[in-house]
Amino acid sequence: MLNARVVSLSLAVTTEVIYLSCAVLSYVSPKGVIWFFSTWIHALDLTAIVSSKPFAAADFFTGFVSIFIASYLTGMVFTYVYNAAGRAG
C-alpha cells in the first residue's frame, strides 16, 4: 500500500522542479524551449503559437500554485487507484 500524502507530495514537488526549470529556460532561451518541445510534438509548428506577452510574475505564481495543486490531486487519485487495484488483484 502506498501512502497517499507521500506519493502526492513527491509528484507535486517533482512537477514544481520541472515547472521552475521550464520557466527559467523559457525566460533565458525561449527559442530553445520551442525547439525542444517541437521535437516532442510531431507535425505541429509550435512557433505559430508562441506568445509575445512579456513575463509576468503574477502569471508565474498562479501557474506555480495551480500546477502544485493539480499534481497533488493527481497523486491522490493515482494512490487511490493503485491501492484499490492492489487489493483487487
79 and 3 Cβ atoms separated by less than 8 Å? yes
21 and 80 Cβ atoms separated by less than 8 Å? no
In this prediction the pTM is: 0.85
pLDDT in tens, 60-87: 999 999 999 999 999 999 999 999 999 9
pLDDT of residue 49: 86
Domain-by-domain residue ranges, the chain? 4-88
| Helices and strands in the chain: count of H runs, count of E runs | 3, 0
- pLDDT at residue 51 tops 90: no
